[in-house]
Amino acid sequence: MQLISNYHRPTQLDEALALLDRADVATAVIAGGTVLAAAELSTATEVVDIQSVVGSDIARQGDRVVFAAMARLQDVIDHEATPPLLTELARREGPNTLRNAATIGGTVAEANPESELLAGLLVHDAVVTVAQTGGATDHHLADLLGSGTGLEGGIITAVSAEIGGETTSARTGRTPADTSIVAAVGRIVPDGIKVALTGVAPTPLLVDPDNLEVLDPSGDFRGDAEYRKDLARTLTKRVVTQLGGTS
C-alpha cells in the first residue's frame, strides 16, 4: 500500500475532475468515507474528497426518483419518494451509524457483491450519471457493474431509479441480522419479472430466472459454490412465486 501524500477537498466539480485527470498521479476518491477500496489504496498516492462538489438532494422526477450521489443512505430510507423495496434494502447496508455517513454514490462505486441495495437498484432499472472531464454520461447500473468500466477519471453525481411495480425479496444468512450469503430481489415490470441476485458473482447482477445454471459463484467459509447455486435457485423461485410468476 502506498503512503498517501496529499488530501484534496475541492469546492468545484471541474476542480475535482482535474485532480482525477492527472496522468502522473494515482488518486482515490472519498465520498462518505466509510469504505475505501483496497485496490485503489494499493496504488493511490493522493485522495480527493468530493463531499463539497456533489449534491445530496433527493427528488421525484416523473416516474423516477433521483438521488444525488452524496445522499446518505439514511436519507434514502427516510425520503417519501424512495420505493419501499429500496427503503428496506438500504436498511440492510449496515447500522444507522454507517447509514448516516455512507452515500448512495459510494455504494454504487464500491460494487459490493453482497449489497442487497444494489440488487434492488438493478430491478428498479437504476441509471448512474458519471461526470468526466469531457462531460456527463448516463449508464444503466447493470452495464456499469457488468463492464467494470465507466468510472475511470469520473465522479458519480446521481443515481436514479424507476418508481412503482410490485416487489419482493428473499435472503439467506447465517443469522437474520447477518449479511446475506445469497439474496434474491424481484420486481414486476411490463414484460415480466426482473430478478437480481447477490452473492453469486463479483457484483450483484440481473439474472434470467429460467437459466440460473450459467452462474459460477465463488465459495467462501459461509458456503461453497454449489451451495450458493442451490440458494440462488431456491430464492429466485421464491421471489418469482411471490410475484405471481412460475419458475
Are 180 and 140 members of one domain?
no
Q: For residue range 51-110, list pLDDT tens digits in order.
A: 899 999 999 999 999 999 999 999 999 999 999 999 999 999 988 888 888 999 999 998
pLDDT value of residue 39: 45
Cβ–Cβ < 8 Å for 121, 115: no
User: Residue 110's domain is classified under what CATH number?
Assistant: 3.30.465.10
* Portion of the chain with pLDDT greater than 70, in percent: 92
Amino acid letter for position 182: V
- 63, 19: one domain: no
Buried b (16+ CB within 10 A) or exposed e, 134-143: eeeeebebbe
Same domain, 146 and 238: no
Determine, yes or no, domain membership for 1.
no
Cell numbers for 22, please give them: 492527472
H or E segment and range at residue 239: helix 225-242
Provide the β-strand partners of residue 171: 183
**Does one domain contain both 238 and 205?**
yes
Let me know the angle formed at the C-alpha of 76 by 51 and 155, rounded to the nearest 5 degrees: 35
Residues 146 and 64 in one domain: yes
Average pLDDT, the chain: 90
Whole-prediction pTM: 0.91
Sequence letter at residue 163: I
The answer to whether 198 touches 204, Cβ cutoff 8 Å, is yes
Residue 247 located in a structural domain:
no
Number of domains in the chain: 3
Q: Do 157 and 176 belong to one domain?
A: no
Q: Are residues 99 and 153 in the same domain?
A: yes
Are 64 and 148 in the same domain? Answer: yes
Give the whole-angstrom CA distance, residue 124 versus residue 89. Answer: 12
Q: Are residues 192 and 107 in the same domain?
A: no
- Amino acid identity at 42: S
Among 132, 162, 192, residue at a domain's last position: 162
> Mind listing the pLDDT tens digit for each residue in 191-222?
999 999 999 999 999 999 999 999 999 999 99
pLDDT at 43: 65
Q: Name the one residue in this structure whose C-alpha cell is 419458475.
A: 247
> Could you say which of 95, 129, 162 is where a domain stops?
162
pLDDT at site 38: 45
Alpha-helical regions (H) of 42-164: 73-78, 84-91, 96-99, 104-110, 116-123, 141-147
Full residue range of the structural domain in which residue 138 is found: 58-162
Q: Are residues 158 and 177 in the same domain?
A: no
Confidence category of residue 140, pLDDT binned at 50, 70, 90: very high
74 and 158 both lie in a single domain: yes
